[in-house]
Each structure stands twice: as structure tokens, then as C-alpha cells.
Amino acid sequence: MTVVSCPTCGQKVEWTPANPYRPFCSERCKQIDLGAWAEEKYTIPGSSPGETRDDDAPER
């Protein structure tokens, strides 16, 4: 049996088909994570579309 930590609260959770909320421990933690995603609290660092980085510029 695989045991993981809930991404929201850190509680240990069994990774089994019997847990419909996996990897979360509960519906509450699942909804908290969804709310954070909807508020754009999760981001991936990078440049905006249309911006060029110095190393992307063609060599002269």
C-alpha cells in the first residue's frame, strides 16, 4: 500500500481506489486546492508570450 502526504494539509493518505479524494485527504482539502488554482496562486516561472529572452535573440 502506498501512503502519500495530502498536498494541502500534509496528513498521511492511503493511495487506494477506496479514497475518492486522492491525493487529498478529504473533499475540503481538494476544494481548498481548487480555489487556490482558480485564484491563480500556482504559477510557473517564465516569460510572457511575445517576450524574448537575451539567449533567444539571433546571433549577429
- Residue 31 domain-assigned (yes or no): yes
Percentage helix, strand, coil for the chain under 3-state DSSP, each rounded to 5: 25, 10, 65
We report the CATH number of the domain holding residue 17 as 3.30.50.10
**Residues comprising the binding site for Zn(2+)?**
6, 9, 25, 29
Helix (H, G, I), strand (E, B) or coil at 38: helix
* Structural domain harbouring 29: 3-38
For the chain, what is the domain count?
Answer: 1
Q: Does the predicted model carry a pTM greater than 0.75? A: no
48 lies in some domain: no
Phi-psi region of 40 (alpha: psi -120 to 50; beta: other; left: phi over 0): left
Local confidence pLDDT in tens for the 60 residues of the chain = 899 999 999 999 999 999 999 999 999 999 999 999 998 888 888 877 776 666 655 666
Q: How many CB atoms lie within 10 A of CB 29?
A: 19
Provide the annotated binding site.
6, 9, 25, 29
